[in-house]
């Protein structure tokens, strides 16, 4: 059996080689992403794994099927790069890695939130300018005095809520499918609107779907508590960025943490040092002191990388050999 990993980073190669040696299955790696231009690299392989944020070209699905490929695996939890309908029509099973390391993202969400709440970027900037004064601009709240809203109480959301609860904060949550584990430390709200009206900080932990595209838009942001914070370590399309910018400009919100951005594909995980970013919305985000932006990196820990590589390779092998996998996206 031969497998090919597209979009392979240097930090993934060791885990891929360890898995290959353990299973006796050949794993080819390439830094290039899967496109119609790179489709030829699939020839001679039985399985395909990707790591990319942009949508796959629709022409890839029938082309892969014609090459005898039966599956597509993403080395991520999110799978919004796939057209599930097109995949099904062409007999391609889609797999993801839903629980590679929920702690990684949860820890990052809390860390970045603390950075924003305690004005760490502004303090650092002041110190660099030899401004060592104490002033109202860097006066901050204590987390234990805040009500934290968790939107999406799956694995990542639950751990995020537990970490915030460890600071003594009151935790509230919203999920279409509440679970008993989360009830141990949070109180569910019946509607998302009810949650955002009460929360001092809202942390998003849900997959991107057609139904939640721009869920956090002008109308919902207007219902948030004055001076609240918004944290998105989930998917960029869940937040309407232009509406968020307006809410910050009007000082409706005190700040936002964004590890994902809806138009990030052209530059995330690329070194563009010295190059201009041709994106007016993104440049507007970067110009603000009340935005803490990171390039879709909340997941990025040693444990997570190993689990993502091994989990996606396991799923690929299982689909090829048995036609099914616990990680298959239905």
Q: What are the residue ranges of CATH 3.40.50.720 in the chain? A: 2-100+302-322, 102-293
Return the pLDDT at 57.
97
Confidence of residue 316 (pLDDT cuts 50, 70, 90): very high
Mean pLDDT across the stretch 303-328?
97
- 20 pLDDT above the threshold of 90: yes
- 7 pLDDT above the threshold of 90: yes
- 53 pLDDT above the threshold of 90: no
pTM of the model: 0.89
More confident residue, 269 or 143: 143
Residue 258 in 3-state DSSP? Answer: strand
- Contact 311/69 with Cβ under 8 angstroms? no
- 298 pLDDT above the threshold of 90: yes
- Contact 44/2 with Cβ under 8 angstroms? yes
Mean pLDDT across the stretch 42-66?
96
- 287 pLDDT above the threshold of 90: yes
Return the pLDDT at 35.
98
Fold classified for 102-293: Rossmann fold (3.40.50)
Q: What is the pLDDT of residues 64-78, one digit of tens each?
A: 999 999 999 999 988
Return the pLDDT at 330.
87
* Diameter of the chain measured on Cα atoms: 67
| Token pair 């860097």: residue | 138
Mean pLDDT across the stretch 69-89?
96
Catalytic residue among 162, 264, 306, 310: 264
Give which of 152, 150, 146 is closest to 168, Cα–Cα.
146
The mean pLDDT of the chain is 97
Could you give the CA distance from residue 7 to residue 52 in angstroms, rounded to a whole number?
Answer: 7
Q: Report the half-sphere exposure of 33 (CA within 13 A, side-chain side).
A: 15
Q: What is the pLDDT of residues 124-166, one digit of tens each?
A: 999 999 999 999 999 999 999 999 999 999 999 999 999 999 9
Give which of 220, 205, 216 is closest to 152, Cα–Cα.
205
One-character DSSP codes across 280-321: HHHHHHHT-TTEEE-SS-TT-SHHHHHHHHHHHHHHHHHHHH
Could you give the CA distance from residue 81 to residue 268 in angstroms, rounded to a whole number?
Answer: 14
Query: In whole angstroms, how far apart are CA 31 and each of 144, 203, 210?
Result: 44, 33, 30
Catalytic residue among 158, 205, 296, 317: 296
Could you give the CA distance from residue 182 to residue 159 in angstroms, rounded to a whole number?
Answer: 9
Return the pLDDT at 11.
96
Mean pLDDT across the stretch 250-255?
98
Mean pLDDT across the stretch 20-42?
98
Catalytic residue among 75, 158, 205, 235: 235
Active site residue 264: yes
Active site residue 296: yes
- 100 pLDDT above the threshold of 90: no
Mean pLDDT across the stretch 243-269?
97
Could you give the CA distance from residue 162 to residue 167 in angstroms, rounded to a whole number?
Answer: 9
As a CATH number, domain 2-100+302-322 is: 3.40.50.720
- 54 pLDDT above the threshold of 90: no
């Amino acid at each position: 059996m031969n497998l090919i990993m597209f979009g392979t980073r240097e930090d993934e190669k060791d885990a891929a080689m360890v898995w290959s040696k353990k299973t006796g299955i050949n794993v080819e790696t390439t830094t290039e992403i899967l496109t119609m231009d790179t489709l030829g690299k699939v020839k001679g392989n039985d399985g395909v794994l990707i790591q990319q944020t942009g949508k796959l070209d629709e022409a890839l699905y029938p082309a892969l099927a014609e090459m005898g490929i039966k599956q597509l695996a993403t080395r991520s939890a999110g799978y919004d790069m796939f057209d599930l309908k097109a995949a099904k029509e062409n007999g391609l099973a889609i797999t993801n890695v839903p629980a590679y390391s929920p702690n990684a993202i949860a820890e990052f969400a809390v860390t970045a939130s603390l950075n924003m709440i305690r004005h760490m970027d502004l303090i650092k900037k002041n110190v660099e300018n030899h401004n060592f004064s104490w002033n109202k601009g860097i006066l901050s709240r204590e987390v234990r005095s805040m009500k934290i809203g968790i939107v999406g109480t799956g694995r990542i959301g639950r751990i995020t809520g537990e970490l915030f609860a460890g600071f003594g904060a009151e935790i509230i949550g919203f999920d279409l499918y509440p679970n008993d584990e989360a009830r141990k430390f949070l109180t569910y709200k019946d509607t998302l609107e009810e949650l955002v009206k009460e929360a001092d900080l809202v942390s998003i932990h849900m997959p991107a779907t057609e139904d939640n595209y721009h869920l956090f838009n002008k109308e919902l942001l207007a219902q948030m508590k004055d001076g609240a914070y918004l944290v998105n370590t989930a998917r960029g399309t869940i937040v309407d960025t232009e509406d968020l910018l307006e809410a910050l400009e009007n000082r409706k919100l005190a700040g936002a943490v964004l590890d994902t951005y809806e138009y990030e594909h052209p530059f995330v995980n690329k070194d563009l040092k010295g190059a201009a970013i041709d994106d007016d919305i993104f440049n507007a985000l970067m110009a603000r002191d009340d935005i803490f932006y990171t390039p879709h990196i909340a997941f990025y820990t040693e444990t997570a990388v190993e689990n993502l590589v091994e989990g996606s390779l396991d799923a690929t092998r299982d689909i090829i050999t048995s036609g099914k996998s616990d990680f298959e996206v239905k």
